[in-house]
Amino acid sequence: MPELPEVETTLRGIRPYLDGARVERLIVRDPRLRRPIPPETAERVAGQAVRSLSRRSKYLLIGLDQGSLLIHLGMSGSLRVVPADSAPKKHDHLDLVLTDGRCLRFHDPRRFGLFLWLPETPELAERCHPLLRDLGPEPLGTAFDGDHLHRLGRQRRVAVKIFLMDASVVVGVGNIYANESLFLAGIHPARACHRIGLERYRRLAEVIRGVLEASITQGGTTLRDFVQEDGNPGYFAQSLRVYGRTGEPCIACGAPLRLRRIGQRSSFYCVHCQH
C-alpha cells in the first residue's frame, strides 16, 4: 500500500501540472472503486478550475471552484499526468482531462482506491468529512512530538507498533516506517506503549520525522505496486535497515534480524538493539 511518503511524492509530482489548471471533462471507464463513482461526478467537475492541492494523511485533496476531489490510492493505485489522447492501459479507470491537453490518469489494478467529489472545500472536509475528521496529527507537522505520543501512550496497553499505526494517534506511519523508526529509536515493537518513558518517546518522534522526510526526499519506498508519478521507482527501499530483512545481520550489532507478527502485521527487529 502506498504510504504517506509515496502520497506526498505523488502530490509534489502532479502539483506543477494541476495547480491553476481547468478541468475539461471527467472520463470514467470503470466506476467500481472502493466506493463506486456516482454518474453525476463528471457533470460536477467539468469546467471547474483547480484552486488548491493538498494532502491529509494518505488522502489527496484537490480544491475546485465548487467543492473538492478526495482521492485515496488504496493498495495499488497511482496517478499520472499524461497526454489526454494517449491510449489508456488496463486498469486506467478514469481520466481527469484538462483544457491544456493533459489529463490526470488514475490507475488501480485492485480497485481499492477512492475518487470522490465533495461539496465542501478541502479545509471544511478535513474538519467534517467522516474519512478525515478523526485523524491524528501529521507526523511532519508541529502538533506531533514525543510529548503527544507519551500523553496518549500512557492511556493504552497495546504494543507500541500497533499504537504508532493507529491513525487517530498519528497519521501516515504505516508498517514499513513503523518498523524502521522503532529500530532506529531502539524500541522493541512489541513493548507496551504505556511502559515507554517521555524521553524515549521524544527520541521516537524525532526518528519518525527523519525517516519520513528521508523517504520523501528519495522518492518514496519502492513497493511492488508503486512507482513515482513520472514512472520511475522510488529508492528509499535501498536504505531499509530492518523491514523485509529477516535472518540478515543487524547493521548495528550483526545479530540475525527476527520476524514476528504483531497485530496481524509483519514486524522486523533486532533482539539485541531493541528493548
Query: Which cell numbers hold the place of 222?
Result: 519502492
**Nearest C-alpha neighbor of 183 from the set 199, 166, 160:** 160
- State yes or no: is 90 an active-site residue: no
Return the H-helix or E-strand segment holding 45: helix 41-45
CA nearest neighbour of 94 among 154, 42, 19, 17? 42
Give the Cα separation of 172 and 11 in Å (integer): 15
By C-alpha distance, which of 30, 15, 8 is closest to 115?
30
Specify whether 3 is catalytic. Answer: yes
Catalytic residue selected from 3, 6, 8, 180? 3
List, in sequence order, every beta strand (DSSP E) within the chain.
23-28, 50-56, 59-64, 68-72, 78-83, 92-98, 102-107, 114-118, 258-262, 265-269
Catalytic hit among 55, 58, 80, 200? 58
Q: Which residue, 103, 105, 115, is CA-closest to 37?
A: 115
194 annotated to bind ligand: no
The radius of gyration computed from the CA coordinates of the chain, to the nearest angstrom, equals 20
Could you tell me which residues come within 8 angstroms of residue 248 by beta carbon, excluding any fewer than 6 positions away?
256, 257
Catalytic residue, chosen from 34, 203, 245, 265, is 265
Contact 259, 266 (CB under 8 A): yes
Whether residue 265 lies in the annotated active site:
yes
Q: Is 156 annotated as a binding residue?
A: yes
CA max distance for the chain: 60
The residues annotated as belonging to the active site are 2-3, 58, 265
Residue positions in the annotated binding site for DNA? 91, 110, 156
Residue positions in the annotated binding site? 91, 110, 156
